[in-house]
Amino acid sequence: MSAAQLATAAGPKARVAGGYTALLIVSLLAPLVFPAYVTQFAFLWVLVVIALCWNVMGGEMGYNSFGNIVFFGVGMYATSVVQVGLYGDVGAYTAAKGGLALDLTVTQYFVGLGVGMFAGALLAVALAGILGLGMLGLRGHYFAIGTLGLGIAAAELAAGWDWIGAGSGMVPPNYPDAAGIDRTTVFYYLAFILAVATFFTLKRLRRGRFGLAINAIRDDEDKAEAMGLHTTRYKTVAWCVSAFFTAFAGGIVGNIVGFIDPRTVAFAGVTYGVWMVLMTVLGGKGTLWGPVVGAAVFHVTQELFWTYLLGWQRVALGLLIVLIVVFFPKGIVGYIRDKWPEKFGYTVDESATGAAADPAQQGGTR
Amino acid sequence: MSPLLEVNNVSKAFGGVQANHDISLQVADGEIAGIIGPNGSGKTTLFNSIVGAHPIDRGSIKFRDEELSRLRVPHIARRGLLRTFQQTRIYKQMTCVENMLISRPHANETLGSMLADFDEADYREAGELLELVGLYAKRNLQAGELSFGQQKLLEFAMALMNNPKMLLLDEPTAGINPTLINGLLERLVYANRELGITLLVIEHNMRVIMSLAQRIYCLAHGQLLAEGAPETVRNDPRVIDAYLGGQ
| Positions of chain B with pLDDT lower than 50, given as ranges | 247
* pLDDT tens profile A278-314: 899 999 998 999 999 999 999 998 888 888 888 888 8
CA angle A216, A218, A219 (to 5 degrees): 65
Q: How far is A217 from chain B (nearest CA, A)?
A: 9
SS3 content of chain B, % helix, strand, coil (to 5): 40, 25, 35
Contact criterion met (CB < 8 Å) for B91 and A215 = yes
CA angle B146, B197, B205 (to 5 degrees): 60
Q: What is the pLDDT of residue B1?
A: 60
Q: What is the pLDDT of residue B206?
A: 85
Among A212, A228, A341, select the one facing B74 at the smallest CB separation: A228
Q: Which CATH superfamily is domain B5-90+164-244 in?
A: P-loop containing nucleotide triphosphate hydrolases (3.40.50.300)
pLDDT band at A352 (very low <50, low <70, confident <90, very high): very low
- Cα A300 to Cα A43, A330, B122, distances in angstroms: 11, 20, 43
Q: How far is A230 from chain B (nearest CA, A)?
A: 7
Amino acid at A241: V
The size of the A-B interface in CB pairs under 8 A is: 162
What CA–CA distance (Å, rounded) separates B57 from B44? 16
- Residue range A63-86: average pLDDT? 92
- Cα B125 to Cα B58, B108, B130, B139, B233, distances in angstroms: 41, 20, 8, 13, 39
pLDDT band at A324 (very low <50, low <70, confident <90, very high): confident
pLDDT band at A359 (very low <50, low <70, confident <90, very high): very low
DSSP bridge pairs for B107: none
pLDDT band at A351 (very low <50, low <70, confident <90, very high): low
Q: What is the DSSP letter of B41?
A: S
- Residue range A83-111: average pLDDT? 82
What CA–CA distance (Å, rounded) separates A346 from A335? 14
Contact criterion met (CB < 8 Å) for A363 and B150 = yes
What CA–CA distance (Å, rounded) separates A215 from B145? 17
What CA–CA distance (Å, rounded) separates B151 from B164? 19
pLDDT band at A49 (very low <50, low <70, confident <90, very high): very high
Q: How far apart are the first and last CA of chain B?
A: 38
Give the dihedral sign, CA A81/A82/A84/A90.
positive
Among A216, A225, A347, select the one facing B141 at the smallest CB separation: A347
What CA–CA distance (Å, rounded) separates B54 from B57? 10
Residue of B nearest to A232 (CA): B74
Contact criterion met (CB < 8 Å) for A363 and B101 = no
DSSP bridge pairs for B198: B166
A1 Cβ contact partners less than 8 Å away, ≥ 6 residues apart: B97, B123, B124, B127, B139
Q: How far apart are the first and last CA of chain A?
A: 30
What CA–CA distance (Å, rounded) separates B173 from B154? 13
Taking contacts as CB-CB distances below 8 angstroms, the residues of chain B near A228 are 74, 77-78, 82, 105-107, 162
Residue of B nearest to A227 (CA): B77
Closest CA to B104 of A208, A233, A5, A1: A208
Stretch (H or E) spanning B128: helix B120-132
Contact criterion met (CB < 8 Å) for B116 and A209 = yes
Which value, in Å, is the radius of gyration of the alpha carbons in chain B? 18
Q: What is the pLDDT of residue B41?
A: 87
Q: What is the pLDDT of residue A6?
A: 46
* Residue A356 pLDDT > 60: no
* Residue A7 pLDDT > 70: no
SS3 content of chain A, % helix, strand, coil (to 5): 75, 0, 25
Taking contacts as CB-CB distances below 8 angstroms, the residues of chain B near A231 are 74
Widest pairwise Cα distance in chain B: 59
Q: What is the pLDDT of residue A350?
A: 60
Q: What is the pLDDT of residue A257?
A: 92
Taking contacts as CB-CB distances below 8 angstroms, the residues of chain A near B95 are 345-346
Q: A291 with A55: CB under 8 angstroms? A: yes
**Stronger pLDDT, A90 or A6, i.e. the higher one:** A90
Widest pairwise Cα distance in chain A: 82
Contact criterion met (CB < 8 Å) for B114 and A225 = no
* pLDDT tens profile A170-224: 888 888 887 788 888 999 999 999 999 999 999 999 989 999 999 999 999 999 9
Q: What is the pLDDT of residue B246?
A: 52
* Residue A363 pLDDT > 80: no
* Residue A355 pLDDT > 60: no
* pLDDT tens profile A258-267: 889 988 888 9
Q: A295 with A279: CB under 8 angstroms? A: yes
Query: Which of A227, A230, A241, A365 best probes binding to B when mutated, by most B CB atoms within 10 angstroms?
Result: A227
What CA–CA distance (Å, rounded) separates B61 from B50? 7
What CA–CA distance (Å, rounded) separates B155 from B145? 14
Among B89, B118, B138, select the one facing A349 at the smallest CB separation: B138
* A225-229, A362-366, B57-61, B138-142: range with lowest mean pLDDT: A362-366
Contact criterion met (CB < 8 Å) for B134 and A359 = yes
Contact criterion met (CB < 8 Å) for B106 and A230 = yes
